[in-house]
Amino acid sequence: MKANNSWIIRSKSKHQLPLLRLFCIPYAGGHASIFHHWANQLPPNIEVCAIQLPGREKRLKEQPFTHLLPLIQSLAPVLLPDLDIPFAIFGHSTGALISFELARQLRHQKAPNPVYLFVSASRAPQLPITEPPIHQLPDAAFIEKLSRYQGTPEEILINPELMEIFLPTLRADLAINETYIYSHEPPIDYPISAFGGLQDKEVSRDDLAAWCDQTHSTFTLRMFPGNHFFLHSDHQALLSSISQDLISVLSL
C-alpha cells in the first residue's frame, strides 16, 4: 500500500496487490470524487487513483494552478512512487490536456511510461483553439458561457454564494487550457484512445480524431450519446471501453 498524499485519492482495491493503476484527472472545476464509483465497474485488479488538484474539496484553501507547466512539474514527482507497476492515465476535457502533458513530462524525466493514454472530450493539443478565451470575462458573462457547457448544475450557477466559492477554481482551470501553447515533440509509443460525446458542441469528432498524430502505436476513437459531459450520462459504456482497452494490453 502506497502512502497517501493530498494529490491522490485511491479506490478501495479488491486486491491487495493491483496489477495496474489508472490515474484519473478531472475536467475544469471537477474534483476527485467524480471518479469514486469507477473502481466498482472496472476489473477488480485495477486501482483507481483520482487526482485531486488544488482549489477543490479538501484542497479548497490551496491556490489553484493557472498554467499547465507548473502544474505538471508539481504533479509528476508526486506520482513517481506509484509507477512501480503498469499504469494508465485518463483525463476529461482540460484533464485530457493535463494527462497528455503529464505523459510527456514523464518521458522527459525518463520515468516509466503509461501502457495507455485515455483522452476524453478534448481536441487534439496541436489544434488551435478557435473560441476566444473566457477565463477573464466579468462574472455574469463568464457564468453565461459556463452554462453552455452543461456541466455545472443550474442550482450552482444561480447561487451567488456557491459561485463565489467555485469561480476562482473554474477560472484557473480554464486558464490552463486557454493559455496552453503546444510544442512539437515525437509521438508517444503507446496506445491512445479518444472518447467524445455525439452531442458535444465544443469538441467535434474531427477534433478527437486528430489525436491519432500523437502516437506511434494504435489509436481508437469512440463516440457516445451525450454532450460534453457524457462521462456522467453514459459512464457505463465509457468504463466498459476503458476496461476493454486495458485488457487488450495486459492480462487483467
DSSP letters, 128-194, are PP-SPP-TTS-HHHHHHHHHHHT-S-HHHHT-HHHHHHHHHHHHHHHHHHHT------PPBSS-EEE
Mean pLDDT of 142-150: 73
- Cell digits for 245? 482497452
Q: Residue 153: pLDDT above 80?
A: no
pLDDT for position 180: 95
Q: Which pLDDT score, from 0 to 100, does residue 107 have?
A: 97
pLDDT tens readout for residues 180-237: 999 999 999 999 999 999 999 889 999 999 999 999 999 999 999 999 989 998 899 9
pLDDT at 16 over 70: no
Which residues belong to the active site?
93
Could you tell me which residue, 226 or 140, shows the higher pLDDT?
Answer: 226
Do 175 and 182 form a contact (C-beta atoms < 8 A)?
no
CA contacts within 13 A on the Cβ side of 88: 26
Q: What is the mean pLDDT of the chain?
A: 90
The pLDDT of residue 144 is 77
C-alpha cell at 14: 479488491
DSSP at 57? G
Greater pLDDT, 218 or 13: 218
| Percentage of the chain modeled with pLDDT above 70 | 91
Mean pLDDT of 119-139: 88
Q: Compare 11 and 183 and report the one with higher pLDDT.
A: 183
Average pLDDT over every residue of 52-72: 95
Please identify which residue in the block is written with the cell numbers 493503476.
21
CATH class, 8-129+182-249 region = alpha beta
pLDDT computed for residue 185 by the predictor: 97
| Averaged pLDDT for residues 127-142 | 82
pLDDT at residue 118 in the model: 98
Strand 87-92, strand 116-120: pairing: parallel
5 against 23, higher pLDDT:
23
